[in-house]
Amino acid sequence: MNPLPPDTLHAPAPGNALLRNLNPEQLAAVTLPNRHALILAGAGSGKTRVLTTRIAWLIQTGQISPAGVMAVTFTNKAAKEMLTRLATILPIPVRGMWIGTFHGLCNRFLRAHWKLAALPQSFQILDSQDQLSAVRRVIKAMNLDEERFVPKQVTWFIAGSKEEGLRPRDVTVRDEQTRTLVDIYQAYEDQCQREGVVDFAELMLRTYELMRDQPALREHYQRRFGHLLVDEFQDTNRLQYAWLKMFAGQSNCVFAVGDDDQSIYAFRGAQVGNMSDFEREFHVEHVIKLERNYRSYGNILDSANELIAHNRKRLGKNLRTEAGPGEPVRVYEATSDYAEAQWLLEEAQQLHREGTPRSEIAILYRSNAQSRVLESALFNAGIPYRVYGGLRFFERAEIKHALAYLRLLENPNDDTSYLRVVNFPTRGIGARTIEQLQDAARASGRSLYQSTGAVTGKGGANLAAFNALLDAMRDATRGLTLREIIEHVLEASALTDFYRNEKEGRERLENLDELVNAAEAFVTQEGFGKDAVALPIDEQAGAIAEGDPPAVARADITPDVETGEIVSPLAAFLTHAALEAGDNQAQAGQDAIQMMTVHAAKGLEFDCVFITGLEEGLCPHENSLSDYEGLEEERRLMYVAITRARKRLYLSHSQTRMLHGQTRYNIKSRFFDELPEGALKWITPKVQGFGSGFARDPRAAWAQAPSHGSSFGTAKKIEPKVATSDGVALRVGQSVFHTKFGEGVIVTLEGSGADARAQINFGRHGLKWLALSVAKLTPVD
DNA sequence: TGCGCACACTTTTTT
DNA sequence: AGTGTGCGCA
């Protein structure tokens, strides 16, 4: 790549505005010489800034042209942020640059090389819902038992295999079950290929394979991208790492930014080990740690640091700040989840009165189920809140229906879409008719749309009418704008009529309107070609600095799409809808308290953060305690949560909690013991219930009998069962000490005399049944 | 065909 | 407790 004399590489132009205000580590990272680099970027250390400034610096110093840079992120949000920031510092159009999500870039790649990839030009992308129903169809077609082959698990198997880079024939088969799973995988692949659709993992895998198997293509792209930058590197899976190596080749520079302490996605295939693998395999000489934190006060960072120091497998990092200690981290113990919610909303109201905008208050929890109590408390108090998670815009049923019709305009052989709407709204096409149709299609190896002739009788006539409807819609929308197309389809399909007559259809109608708006916005503002248009690749490659070999116009590497050819706005919009599920569209615009899982909070920051439900079994979650790695990931989760807070952090836990319709007695999370006592301030809880409001030592409070807990709200009255052990009276909710399992809380008491037994929640040792005649239990108070 | 009831499930999730 | 799915019945 247009090599400059090595000594000029380091020298930032004096007074270069770009590099002003960077701290020494950031500056070092941004101006690293052209070699592989690993940047360990702690939370709040200016990671995005380093990434964007690095790109700008490479371009500004003439080391690379914009077309020679590829930057990969995981989320659309991160990609967008990078593009926006870059646009403000670089006087060039950033739109055509290869900056995007892994999947977005793969999509771009496959659109350009659809022929080589053996895909139809207008291939569609299955989201996870579509994938699930596609898998379900395969299982049905193979006459397999859905009990033994649970569609969701099969989906995981397929995605998991692909993310390991394994095609059906590559999967090691050890048992009969796996054999069949592989058969399903193969049948699913055939079905997708037949229907011209790809799932998310397929985007990655097919791109990888194309690069691997097409030398000319590989050389072309390896020559083009001199610099590869990766965000959130700790979240990459095996396939993504292999994919990256494929683009890196022998000579291109990889600039990987990540934080092993924030690796919280192992459960979906992320390999933190990729970081050390990268360091070793790429002979990384430059590992730069960004430890200076610009977000939080000292007490918050001390808590984060001390907690995470309990993890053994770390690359090692310590956050520091010059902002001073700030306020202590407040710890609250509630008697019940309900009480926790009450306290929290009062505290939040107080913060708001003192001037904190609601949008700067975040409530975090480990699992979604915990949001309900909190939500109802806020709702009843009339406090605006916004819950992240749940269905996103393009995932809503009515939107999926509309999109299915639109997809059928592009490709009537898309059976997934066909099945979704063939009888929605109902047009007299029942299960039996559809079964006949599927049989016919299977027998002839054709699509459902192509097989309607094979179905006789009334059902067949209705199917023919449906096909005619699709054809008519296609004719009527030819040449229309995207907005007009969608409006026509919504009417002609009778979707709007259906929801107009529906009792609860108003919101759905509004969403359909919103779909039209989204399309309009997509066409005008974004420039619809962003994802789906094949970029003039060779032209861009030719723009790489001189000395680069000229872009070769060989047939095997020329993009299949003519340079600059524009895919229809509709096709582009459909791709956009699949790749970007949209916002969760909670009450946007309003100043509302932000509620989300800890996972969802990664990458965000707030002035005030409440981390709730910090109890053994919830955080760390009981399902993750079986192995040590699981516990470490839970700790990282807690670490991520803590480092979201700028000014004020609250930690809370509760003695009792409604879960799965049962009251559970929990002990406080072990993570409390891993925080620096000096940074914490235990708020003495006021015991509610009998109206006395007396105070007591918070550390002892959790050990109290829960009869209080059940007396003031949601929880049902708990029968005060009493049993004895060594003459000591025990009751449900009682805290006890066991020599082997430590402290626990009695959850259930059963039987009497010699048969008496107790179910005890020992937190980190789990839930145990103990015979009271045997077990030595000491009451704790 | 469509409704309603019974039943199972419930960590975290982006694309 | 709450929700989503699947089956059976009218």
- A673-716 pLDDT tens trace: 999 999 999 986 544 433 333 333 333 333 333 333 332 333 33
B chain positions with any atom within 7 Å of a protein CB: 1-2, 10-15
Q: Please tell me whether A577 is known to bind a ligand.
A: no
Amino acid A687: pLDDT: 45
Asked if A684 and A698 touch (Cβ cutoff 8 Å), the reply is yes
The region of weakest confidence among A18-27, A309-318, A549-558 is A549-558
The full length of chain A comes to 781
The region of weakest confidence among A360-364, A455-459, A474-478 is A455-459
Asked if A569 and A325 touch (Cβ cutoff 8 Å), the reply is no
| Cα gap A24→A42, rounded to integer Å | 15
Residue A774 CB partners (closer than 8 Å, separation 6+): none
Q: Please tell me whether A44 is known to bind a ligand.
A: yes
A223 labelled catalytic:
no
Q: Please tell me whether A48 is known to bind a ligand.
A: yes
Integer distance in angstroms from CA A370 to C1' B10? Answer: 11
| Cα gap A486→A492, rounded to integer Å | 10
Look-up of token digits 């779909």: A515
Look-up of token digits 């005649």: A773
Asked if the peptide bond before residue A215 counts as cis, ω within 30 degrees of 0, the response is no
Per-residue pLDDT band at A140 (split at 50, 70, 90): confident
Tell me: pLDDT of A4 over 60.
no
Please report the beta strands in A624-708, taking only residues with DSSP state E, as ranges in sequence order: 645-659, 662-665, 680-683
Residue A409 CB partners (closer than 8 Å, separation 6+): A470, A473, A474, A477, A485, A489, A570
Tell me: pLDDT of A367 over 70.
yes
DSSP-derived letter for residue A718 is P
Amino acid A772: pLDDT: 76
Amino acid A17: pLDDT: 81
Burial A381-404 (b: 16+ CB within 10 A, else e): eebebbbbeeebbbbbebbbbbbb
Amino acid A60: pLDDT: 92
Asked if A503 CB < 7 A from strand B, the reply is no
A712-741 per-position pLDDT tens digit: 333 333 334 456 666 667 766 677 888 777
Higher pLDDT, A691 or A580: A580
Nucleotide showing the shortest C1' distance to residue A580 CA: B15
Closest CA to A205 of A99, A139, A100, A119: A119
Amino acid A5: pLDDT: 39
Q: How many CA atoms lie within 13 A of A481 on its CB side?
A: 11
Amino acid A734: pLDDT: 73
Residue A559 CB partners (closer than 8 Å, separation 6+): A112, A113, A534, A537, A538
Tell me: pLDDT of A14 over 70.
no
**Which amino acid residue lies closest to nucleotide B14, measuring CA to C1'?**
A75
Q: How much is the mean pLDDT over chain A?
A: 84
Per-residue pLDDT band at A748 (split at 50, 70, 90): low
Asked if A621 CB < 7 A from strand B, the reply is yes
- Look up the pTM and report it: 0.83
Per-residue pLDDT band at A534 (split at 50, 70, 90): very low
Integer distance in angstroms from CA A697 to C1' B10? Answer: 35
Amino acid A586: pLDDT: 53
What angle, 0 to 180 degrees and rounded to 10, lies between the N-to-C axes of helices A397-410 and A457-477? 80
A48 labelled catalytic:
yes
Q: What are phi and psi of A678, to 5 degrees?
A: -70, -20
∠ Cα A190 A192 A195 (to 5°): 110
Integer distance in angstroms from CA A526 to C1' B13? Answer: 26
C chain positions with any atom within 7 Å of a protein CB: 1-2, 6
Amino acid A71: pLDDT: 97
The region of weakest confidence among A64-78, A568-582, A691-705, A725-739 is A691-705
Nucleotide showing the shortest C1' distance to residue A662 CA: C1
Tell me: pLDDT of A535 over 80.
no
Per-residue pLDDT band at A105 (split at 50, 70, 90): very high
Per-residue pLDDT band at A753 (split at 50, 70, 90): low
- Positive or negative torsion for Cα A564, A568, A571, A572: positive
A232 labelled catalytic:
yes
Amino acid A766: pLDDT: 67
Asked if A428 CB < 7 A from strand B, the reply is yes
Higher pLDDT, A72 or A752: A72
| Cα gap A448→A457, rounded to integer Å | 17
Q: What are phi and psi of A218, to 5 degrees?
A: -60, -50
The residue annotated as part of the active site, out of A386, A644, A647, A657, is A644
Cα Rg, chain A, nearest whole Å: 29
Amino acid A473: pLDDT: 95
Integer distance in angstroms from CA A579 to C1' B1? Answer: 36
Q: Reduced to 3 states, what is the DSSP secondary structure of residue A346?
A: helix
- For residue A613, give both structure tokens: 């439900």
Q: Please tell me whether A656 is known to bind a ligand.
A: no
